[in-house]
Structure 1
Amino acid sequence: MSVARVDRPRRAPALSRTAAADPLLLRRRYRRRARLTALAFVTPLLVYLAAFYAFPLYRNLDLSLRDYTVRSFVSGDAPYSGWANFSKILGDPMFGPALRHTMVFTFGSLVFQYTAGLALAVFFDRHFRLAATLRALFLIPWLLPLIVSASTWSWMFNSESGVVNYGLHLIGLDPVGWLTSPHWALTSVIVANIWIGIPFNLVILYSGLQNIPAELYEAAALDGAGPWQRFRRITFPLLRPVSAITLLLGLVYTLKVFDLIWIMTKGGPGDSSSTLATWSYQLGFGTLLPKFGPGAAVGDLLIVVALAFGLLYVRVQRRQEA
């Protein structure tokens, strides 16, 4: 006589009695697993930041606090000198002109880059034919390698065969020593840097304009507001957060510009276009007897200035959000 086989229902995956009876324990295990997963994703970034940001910053600070020579730089036994390197650069006659040139170069570039970038962003926001193509062409200066841009501007500003002086000759003006005159060298590198930075401002500000609702402009037009009133009352106020981050990023980038100035003028003639970045390089690598400590101290000053403006931006943003 056969007996019918009755299949028992399958059980769910086995859990410990403690875990099944305690939902809080299950929650803790889930959170721990989520933290480990998040840590696994963050670890490569932390390693990258430590290797390429934290360690170089520590190394630069160590250089600025010790009396390094070529021999001690190789052997690593430089004596501790404290703030002597900072006192040395602050008392150097070159510090004042380098700081002044840095401020003129930075703020002069920022003002014209932002103004031109904002004007072009508003212009391309009209969505006319070929707007996308022209906007893409304006990105070329930003996409070119900086050494190519600097070399091109050096050729254009050449005193003898440059296209700029040739244009001045055509309209009956005397040629100008753009890169060889102490009065024009800094202006020349500022012009080149403005040309390079305009596309960045254009892209960021144009993206900010896309987030402004079109209904605001339509309502303002119905109320009789003209183009300038719409820009002053709607566009510019709503672009303030985007403008702030654009100016901050431009400031940090422009403060550390070195290659453009070095390729075009090498800080000359007679240190007339030397900035803190080029002076730091000259101290550390531009002489027969390198001064690693003072050169690193100048670099630390640049870091402090950029950090101060970054903290200022964060404070302003918090006030606007409050």
Structure 2
Amino acid sequence: MTANAAEGLKRARRGVGVAGRGPAAPAPRGPNGGRTTLGRSWPTLSAFALPSLILLILLNLFPVIYAFLQSLQNGTPSTLPWEADFVGLQNYVTVLTSPQFWQAAEFTLIFTIVGVFGSWVVGLGLALLLRTKIPANTTFKVLLLLPWIVPIVVSSTAWNWLVATPQSPLPIIFSWFGMDNVNFLGDPLLAQILVCIFKVWISFPFMMMMMSSALASVDTNVYEAAKVDGAGSWHTFTGITLPMISRTTYISWILMTIFCVNDFPTIFLLTQGGPVNATTTLIVLAYQYAFQNLQTGIGTAIAFIMTAVLVVISVVLYQQIKKVNIE
């Protein structure tokens, strides 16, 4: 293809003719030269859409405003906003100066990092494996989706059965190697490791699906060209595969970060935040304050702090998505 032809194609995609930009398309007019029927009826269409719009705003905005008012007050879940004592930002000060909050924040960070990157590595590896010709490929894909499909209550019950007592299967297996009386749910470090592994196990199918769709959109001609140029498998992976799927990768990181930070059932059903608060995350701590200690103000304050952090992380990752430029 000549340079003139290539330039012509580019100009055609932009809607530019050979001699410059073509004439603008005339505005839609009615049969008498006036506005179209759609243009005349927009007030009617807006009136029909307004009730639904108001309902959506109320359903989404009212709970946020109500919760924020609760974070500024000292009340219980049953206390109405005008009945509670207004304390201003005292709940936020109490939260930020609490050692229990920072302990929960530290484990939330660990839990999120392991959950995001652990599930991404496993999911990407399986997505690459599924692109190859392996026996019973379809059956293998369905089986890999089971941790994501099975309800979390069933999964947590199964894992609890595997590790809960010394007579459970996993402690018995460890005893074969000389490690007797391994208490996965009683030892703080082992409980943290178990919760993180459980999160990766139930999350990698989501990452696998995201990465599989991203890999399917990569043109195979790019790999053929790299192979002709003598690029090895590692250079092809780091120089072609990862950059080409970077947009989907950043999106999956954003979503999984939100899933991990807001993941209440995974931890509560398995360890309930124990032992000695070792596996308590911020969302579990907010629940404990709001519904166990009946300190709604502190619980909602923790929730709003979590929301602010998630917004910052999402904005940072979204900026990375905007910087990605794949030609």
Greater alpha carbon shift after TM alignment, 275-284 vs 163-172: 163-172
Structure 1, unaligned stretches of length 5 or more?
1-18
Distance 1:286 1:226, change over 3 A: same
After superposition, residues 57-206 of structure 1 pair within 5 angstroms as 57-69=64-76, 73-74=79-80, 76-206=82-212
After superposition, residues 216-235 of structure 1 pair within 5 angstroms as 216-235=222-241
Q: Which amino acid counterpart does residue 215 of structure 2 have in structure 1? A: L
- What residue in structure 2 maps to residue 297 of structure 1? 301
How far off is 1:174 after superposition?
A: 2.4
Determine the C-alpha separation between the residues in 1 that align with 2:300 and 2:216.
43
The root-mean-square deviation of aligned C-alpha atoms, in Å, is 2.3
SS in 2 for 1:184: helix
Determine the C-alpha separation between the residues in 2 that align with 1:188 and 1:59.
36
Contact 1:266 1:274 in 2 (8 A): yes
- What residue in structure 1 maps to residue 38 of structure 2? 30
| TM-superposition CA deviations, 1:38-72 (whole Å, max 9, x none) | 88579647634641x3222222111101121466x
Distance 1:50 1:70, change over 3 A: closer
Q: Which amino acid counterpart does residue 289 of structure 2 have in structure 1? A: L
How far off is 1:317 after superposition?
A: 2.3
Q: How many residues align?
A: 297
| Structure with larger Rg | 1
* Identical counterparts, % of pairs: 25
| TM-superposition CA deviations, 1:290-315 (whole Å, max 9, x none) | 10100010011111111111211222
Determine the C-alpha separation between the residues in 2 that align with 1:86 and 1:42.
37
- What residue in structure 1 maps to residue 63 of structure 2? 56
Distance 1:238 1:45, change over 3 A: farther
Contact 1:179 1:185 in 2 (8 A): yes
Distance 1:65 1:142, change over 3 A: same
Greater alpha carbon shift after TM alignment, 90-99 vs 225-234: 225-234
Structure 2, unaligned stretches of length 5 or more?
1-29
- What residue in structure 1 maps to residue 318 of structure 2? 314
Determine the C-alpha separation between the residues in 1 that align with 2:58 and 2:81.
24
Distance 1:173 1:75, change over 3 A: closer
Structure 1 stretches (4+) deviating beyond 6 angstroms? none
Greater alpha carbon shift after TM alignment, 55-64 vs 101-110: 55-64
Contact 2:254 2:314 in 1 (8 A): yes
Using the size of structure 2 for normalisation, the TM-score is: 0.84
